[in-house]
Structure 1
């Protein structure tokens, strides 16, 4: 009799087990709905920096490990662009849902949520600054128009980001001097513009085995900061170019990803980073300039950190950078007009 009851209950148990497995399967699918892909534009995508940054974005470096992306790649060389697209597809990045490769700015900007603008001409010896500026202004003006007309209305646009590798150089200098990993740096303030580049270490902190330490106190050599260190950071790009006969693409791509990720995903609680943002007059910098400020980021919005102490030497360097930027801005507007 017991055997009969057991055999009677078996189909019910099997049905119940199959039913709950099915329910669990659909619940799991429901709870793990894949996010909508974010469309990321990369200009000059077949260039050295573009080639380096595209796989980083495809891996989720700027938007996180769970955010699918669609890469929109813009370049004037269709053949080179096709080669980069083929490699991205061959790499089979799980987060990369599609690749749009085009020479048309309007098509490249269609519906993009994030734009990484890395294609600008550098100044070369024997070429007038105005000639270089004129070409860059023309390029960015056309791309800006395409973004305004075709991008998502809330698109986040990172301007010409080629200078960001200097922040990596800044950290690397201390890595060799103090044997401290670059990832252990907490705060850096870097004001970048050509000959007036000034790496301000007054607020730089590193994490050591005995806790957080001031970089200035650890090095204890102001002469080195104001001479060899500054020169090393300023000339790092040229040194890399001499060594590899190409620009420093990898470090630029990596630091650009760090910059955009901090902006979009936010800075760690209680920490700040340096970003080139619009000046409203903070720290005595003329309103309207794009200048390197200490900022915190949250939900895609940045906020300038106020109240940091600026010594007399730093003040003179910051003002020199501001003056040069004012001249660059005037030159850009003259080309635009």
Structure 2
């Protein structure tokens, strides 16, 4: 039997975690033979709810789940963890300005960065789900200087999954037959869903998405806008934000990080920019990446159209503005 790994989920009493914990404990993320010790972190007022979650995890009788640690203490939650799902964040409330949201979250992710730095394994893989995810990941990394910057990522896999599903529906093919749809930039309404490098199997034949669809108007307008606004559409219909789909995407992101991507396929992750594709350095920006041996690498040399260039510049500008506001808030 393999040694158990410790995995922390923050905001563990919340909606996203409720679906995510099942996916993790079942073995869908780290593999069917990897035992786990789950660390669940939430704020003190949620400890009663979290106790119920712990009961349900026990009642599921997961063979891989060896122990559950439920706590409101970051130092306990991040002790010796190999993987961190940072789900908990201050949600945007009615009348709240973006700066207010940033200010609330900077404090949360400063504390969690410090706790990771002090307690987690130095090769810990950190996924920030809580919004604004890209800038939260950047701040968290700044307060964990002993952990490599490339170990901090933000989730744009939900956007990728949404985009892949919409392309598949438009083509009338199974979603598994569509690959390499890209999300560039911020997990916000400025993100750029890009299917120009994607492909699909249509009647057994591999085709590029532009060739298969033959509808540039849809790809450049309807598709982009519907992916950008999908989160708002879910809230409008469900009266709550995406939870099940966000949990599935978080699991997908971490599974690929630990188990790799298939040859010839890439996925979208918010990672620290190294200047690739003319994107400013030192912002967490979603790029297409391939992963081997738990190490991601930005896919190089993809053709960027004039339209794509404009979209990349717009979302990068928003991230630079968010970074400036966040650093001002923390006095850095």
Question: Smaller-chain TM-score range?
Answer: 0.7 to 0.9
Q: What is the DSSP-based 3-state SS (H/G/I as helix, E as strand, rest coil) of the residue aligned with 2:89?
A: coil
Q: Does residue 191 of structure 1 match 2:184?
A: yes
Structure 2 CA distance, aligned partners of 1:163 and 1:249? Answer: 14
Q: Does residue 243 of structure 1 match 2:210?
A: no
In terms of fraction of residues, the more helix-rich structure is: 1
Find the counterpart in structure 1 of residue 194 from structure 2. 200
Which residue, out of 175, 179, 183, partners 1:182? 175
Find the counterpart in structure 2 of residue 165 from structure 1. 158
Structure 2 CA distance, aligned partners of 1:163 and 1:136? Answer: 18
Which residue, out of 36, 42, 52, partners 2:3? 36
Following superposition, the deviation at residue 170 of structure 1 comes to 0.7
> Aligned residue pairs: how many?
304
Query: TM-score, structure 1 length as denominator?
Result: 0.87
Query: TM-score, structure 2 length as denominator?
Result: 0.88
- Whether the 8 Å CA contact 2:235–2:241 is kept in 1: the answer is yes
- Whether the 8 Å CA contact 1:42–1:116 is kept in 2: the answer is yes
Equivalent positions of 1:1-337 (< 5 A) are 34-76=1-43, 77-160=46-129, 161=154, 163-193=156-186, 194-337=188-331
Higher relative contact order structure (alpha carbons within 8 Å, sequence separation ≥ 6)? 2
Q: Which has the larger radius of gyration?
A: 1
Structure 2 CA distance, aligned partners of 1:72 and 1:95? Answer: 14
Following superposition, the deviation at residue 304 of structure 1 comes to 1.2
User: Unmatched 5+ residue regions in structure 1?
Assistant: 1-33
Structure 2 CA distance, aligned partners of 1:291 and 1:329? Answer: 12
- Whether the 8 Å CA contact 1:163–1:252 is kept in 2: the answer is no
| Cα deviation code 1:174-196 (max 9, x no counterpart) | 23211222222221211243231
Q: What is the DSSP-based 3-state SS (H/G/I as helix, E as strand, rest coil) of the residue aligned with 1:297?
A: strand
* 162 and 121 in structure 1: CA distance in 2 versus 1, 3 angstrom threshold: farther
Structure 1: 4+ residue segments shifted above 4 A: none
* 300 and 197 in structure 1: CA distance in 2 versus 1, 3 angstrom threshold: same
Structure 2 CA distance, aligned partners of 1:48 and 1:163? Answer: 18
Q: Which moved more, 1:117-126 or 1:105-114?
A: 117-126
User: Unmatched 5+ residue regions in structure 2?
Assistant: 130-153
Structure 1 CA distance, aligned partners of 2:94 and 2:210? Answer: 35
* 216 and 169 in structure 1: CA distance in 2 versus 1, 3 angstrom threshold: same
Structure 2 CA distance, aligned partners of 1:162 and 1:191? Answer: 12
Q: What is the DSSP-based 3-state SS (H/G/I as helix, E as strand, rest coil) of the residue aligned with 1:202?
A: coil
Q: What is the DSSP-based 3-state SS (H/G/I as helix, E as strand, rest coil) of the residue aligned with 2:8?
A: strand
Structure 2 CA distance, aligned partners of 1:88 and 1:295? Answer: 33
